[in-house]
């Protein structure tokens, strides 16, 4: 499947609001191929030459519904720097991921969120949980895993899993006070 900026389902298409269904394991060849293609899109999208040559917008994650397939499949690649200034890369090809717990503390990206399916800018704080625990099957490790995520990775996972419910990031922005300060929130 060709995945690029032209083929990604945009928020003007009601298909993006469709709920995604769980996928049976072991993965069918079709589902495995799709998940690998989603992962490759994310990987290639951060390489400026590949992105320009293939019409890719930079991404840290993409879910199957964004290419018109209502299945609980998502690919995520997040680069972070730990407390010792070492770069850590989180790479996942997740099947049927579920948030099993989340913190009371809230978090948001100071610069706001974006989405491959959303072309217009939506300014405001997208308030999410600062920490989440996600259980899923990961195709990279080829096993069931538990991810304990905080900060940016937690936000990315929540963003991608929202796609399974037909929810877009701007649905979380307070329409009356988009830049409302959230007491005790982790600002990233």
Q: What is the Cα Rg of the chain in Å? A: 16
Phi/psi class of residue 166: alpha, beta or left (left: φ > 0; alpha: ψ in -120 to 50)?
left
Determine the straight-line distance between the first and last CA of the chain, rounded to whole angstroms.
34
Catalytic residue among 160, 180, 181, 183: 160
Task: Report how far residue 12's alpha carbon sits from residue 22's, in angstroms, rounded to the nearest whole number.
Answer: 25
Whether 19 and 164 have beta carbons less than 8 Å apart is answered as: yes
Tokens of 130: 């600062």
DSSP, res 4: S
Q: 183 an active-site residue?
A: no
Say how far apart CA 17 and CA 60 lie, in whole Å. 20
Exposed / middle / buried, residue 90 (Cβ in 10 Å: 0-12, 13-18, 19+): middle
The half-sphere exposure of 36 on its side-chain side, counting CA atoms within 13 A, is 9
Catalytic residues: 160
């Amino acid at each position: 499947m060709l995945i690029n900026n032209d083929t990604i389902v945009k928020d003007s298409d009601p298909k993006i609001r469709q709920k995604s269904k769980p996928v049976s394991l072991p993965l069918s060849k079709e589902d495995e191929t799709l998940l690998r293609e989603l992962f490759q899109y994310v990987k290639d999208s951060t390489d400026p030459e590949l992105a320009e040559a293939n019409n890719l917008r930079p991404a840290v994650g993409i879910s199957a519904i964004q290419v018109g397939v209502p299945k609980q499949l998502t690919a995520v690649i997040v680069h972070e720097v730990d407390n010792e200034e070492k770069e850590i890369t989180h790479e996942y090809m997740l099947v049927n991921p579920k948030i099993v717990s989340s913190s009371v503390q809230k978090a948001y990206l100071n610069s706001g969120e974006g989405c491959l399916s959303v072309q217009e800018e939506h300014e405001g704080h997208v308030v999410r949980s600062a920490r989440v625990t996600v259980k899923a099957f990961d195709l990279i490790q080829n096993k069931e895993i538990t991810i304990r995520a905080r900060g940016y990775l937690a936000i990315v996972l929540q963003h991608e899993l929202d796609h399974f419910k037909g929810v877009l990031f701007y649905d979380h922005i307070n329409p009356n006070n988009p830049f409302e300060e959230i007491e005790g929130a982790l600002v990233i």
